[in-house]
């Protein structure tokens, strides 16, 4: 398939490099608000076409699928435009700023009937995470009673930095906390109770957060994320008959211990996710069986409630 990449930041560079490792993938075009950056990006990765506006990329009839790598604050606008332009879409996480935005994006894709839309939660396609999930489903650690997951690092405050800027969708939860929340959702589903506590930055975004998610029968998830402390990124799944430990980085797992037995894989980055998109589109699917639209919306509802409890509100946008 012929891909277009929208934005040229760090995540776009990393994912594009991995796209080029996948047989059959052609990155045809890239766009940036600064056309000189788009041209430099294109030259670096051997991309044929560079545009100074994402609308120009979307108007390119040869682009079949777009990867939306903009800050969270633009996901809603760009994804809607891409779907209206008849493009399949892989949109970075967090999927949107609000549940309402995410629902509109999903409804737009549903109305198109033949277009694929997926949140880029690459962790779900990691072979080791799939192995862990299978072990849990097969009862290898008994009944899961507790899930613990963290992701955090210290990042100097700068109101103009996308991680701290509210207009860009900054803050710890949407950028980092989405990983632990999605991990808990994969294992336990939708929580009955959500409790969040954390700090706020001068730019009115969350600086860090701790979440307690409650499930039937006392099952719970303890999750934390931070932009002000080096938490690392690890996970534990504790069951009545065993445990699973996933080493840092949990979001791109290469080492896990299941009931005392170590399992390792080589780091293949985003390639698994890109292959999954290509396979889904080739099969005529509009959503991924691994990350359904319902999954994305359920995670967004947890994030929005947690943000509300932290005093961060994007719903007024």
Pairing of strands 49-51, 26-31: parallel
Question: Whats the size of the chain, residue-wise?
Answer: 317
Catalytic positions, please? 93
Q: Closest Cα partner for 72 from 243, 238, 300? A: 300
């Amino acid at each position: 398939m012929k891909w277009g990449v929208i934005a040229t930041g760090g995540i776009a560079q990393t994912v594009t490099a991995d796209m080029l490792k996948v047989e059959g993938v052609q990155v045809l075009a890239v766009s940036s608000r600064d056309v000189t950056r788009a041209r430099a990006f294109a030259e670096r990765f051997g991309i044929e076409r560079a545009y100074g506006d994402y609308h120009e990329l979307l108007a390119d009839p040869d682009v079949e699928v777009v990867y939306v790598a903009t800050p969270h604050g633009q996901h809603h606008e760009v994804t809607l435009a891409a779907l209206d332009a008849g493009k399949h879409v892989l949109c970075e996480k967090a999927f949107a700023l609000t549940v309402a935005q995410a629902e509109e994006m999903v409804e737009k894709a549903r109305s198109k009937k033949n277009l694929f839309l997926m949140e880029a939660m690459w962790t779900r396609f990691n072979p080791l995470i799939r192995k862990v999930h299978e072990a849990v489903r097969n009862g290898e650690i008994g009944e899961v009673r507790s899930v613990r997951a963290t992701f955090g690092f210290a990042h100097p405050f700068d109101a103009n930095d996308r991680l701290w800027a509210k207009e860009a969708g900054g803050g710890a939860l949407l950028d980092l906390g989405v990983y632990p929340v999605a991990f808990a959702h994969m294992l336990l589903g939708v929580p009955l109770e959500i409790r969040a506590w954390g700090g706020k930055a001068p730019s009115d975004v969350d600086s860090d957060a701790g979440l307690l998610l409650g499930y039937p029968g006392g099952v719970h998830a303890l999750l934390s994320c931070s932009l002000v402390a080096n938490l690392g990124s690890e996970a534990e799944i504790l069951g009545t008959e065993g445990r699973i430990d996933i080493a840092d980085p949990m979001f791109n797992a290469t080492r896990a211990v299941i009931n005392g037995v170590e399992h390792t894989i080589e780091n293949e980055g985003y390639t698994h996710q890109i292959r999954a998109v290509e396979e889904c589109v080739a099969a005529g699917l509009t959503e991924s069986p691994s990350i359904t639209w319902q999954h994305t919306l359920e995670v967004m509802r947890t994030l929005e409630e947690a943000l509300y409890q932290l005093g961060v509100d994007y719903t007024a946008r």
